[in-house]
Amino acid sequence: MCKVISIANQKGGVAKTTTAVNLGIGLARKGNKVLLVDTDPQGSLTASLGYVEPDEIPVTLANILTAVINEEEIDMAAGILHHEENIDIMPGNIELSALEVTMGNVMSRELILKDYIDMMRERYDYILIDCMPSLGMMTINALVASDSVLIPVQAAYLPVKGLQQLIKTIMMVKKRLNRKLKIQGILLTMVDYRTNYAKDISSKVHETYGSRIVVFQNTIPMSVKAAETSAEGISIYAHCPRSKVAEAYRNLTEEVLENEK
Ligand code: ADP
Ligand code: MG
């Protein structure tokens, strides 16, 4: 059975895309068939997997979702790119920006992405949706299309308010649009273990949310190697397999798989 996980946080720069790439490839390395979906008009996921000019890709998620809106038949292979590390990508680019506006005027506008994702479920074990930094219509679509949502939080400073707002949105989607939506967990990213500050934030997150929501045991360390991989178009496992951050993403992958049981 396919599992669909959104990687969401309306704050930018918290390692959503980095986590989508390295958890996705981590799951593929464990023998799973994985599709990564880029719903961010910035196309960062697409670019960080080596397609450095997302705006020049002829068929992207925007075209597919336009076809869904127009009730055209969709070829399941349409637009899918293949990455050397054994994952598939549905690329995204700036056209998603205009599409998000169009979506607002369409009947059942929250279900557009779900129509496409549901169709793709039979081909994959995991579908990871990389969200844009907002709680707009595209992110709502991602939450509606998902079984669960993974929330990366940067451990440098705690946007408690932002996290509360995100969780409120998730609960609203769960109540009105997607009863089976679960929170996969909160993931602390860019942790600088040398500082007490990082430890404080970690305990604060556990304190505030730990009783209701899974806070992943594994955290992702701050590392320039994580940033380098995006420029290389490969995962942290290929770029720097022995680094702490590669180990952290390997452990996170194990933890996600373990939590399924
Ligand atoms: P988001 O998708 O939430 O905007 P990104 O994954 O694009 O976040 O990460 C934001 C920036 O931080 C990128 O330049 C990325 O390469 C860098 N980055 C990601 N993870 C780490 C890390 N563990 N340590 C240091 N820099 C990181
Ligand atoms: Mg991103």
The reported pLDDT for the residue numbered 159 is 65
pTM for the model stands at 0.97
Closest C-alpha to ligand 1, atom 10: 13
Strands (E), the chain: 3-7, 34-38, 81-83, 87-90, 126-130, 148-154, 182-189
CA of 177 to the centre of ligand 2 (A): 24
For residue 244, give Cα distances in angstroms to 147, 230, 238: 30, 17, 13
Beta carbon of 18 within 6 Å of any ligand 1 atom: yes
**CA 80, CA 11: separation in Å to the nearest integer?**
28
* More confident: 4 or 162: 4
Report pLDDT digits (tens) over 88-103.
999 999 999 999 999 9
Q: Write the ipTM.
A: 0.99
Q: In what order do the strands lie in the sheet with 3-7?
A: 81-83, 87-90, 34-38, 126-130, 3-7, 148-154, 182-189
Residue 21 alpha carbon, nearest atom of ligand 1: 6
For residue 37, give Cα distances in angstroms to 34, 44, 66, 204, 214: 10, 11, 16, 32, 24
CB of 181 closer than 8 Å to CB of 148: yes
Beta carbon of 20 within 6 Å of any ligand 1 atom: no
Report pLDDT digits (tens) over 121-155.
999 999 999 999 999 999 999 999 999 999 999 88
Give the model's confidence band at 76: pLDDT under 50 very low, under 70 low, under 90 confident, else very high.
very high
Closest CA to 148 of 113, 114, 180: 180
The reported pLDDT for the residue numbered 156 is 76
Instruction: Tell me the residue type at 65.
Output: L
Closest C-alpha to ligand 1, atom 19: 15
Domains in the chain, CATH or no CATH each: 3-260 (3.40.50.300)
For 66, the token pair is: 């336009």
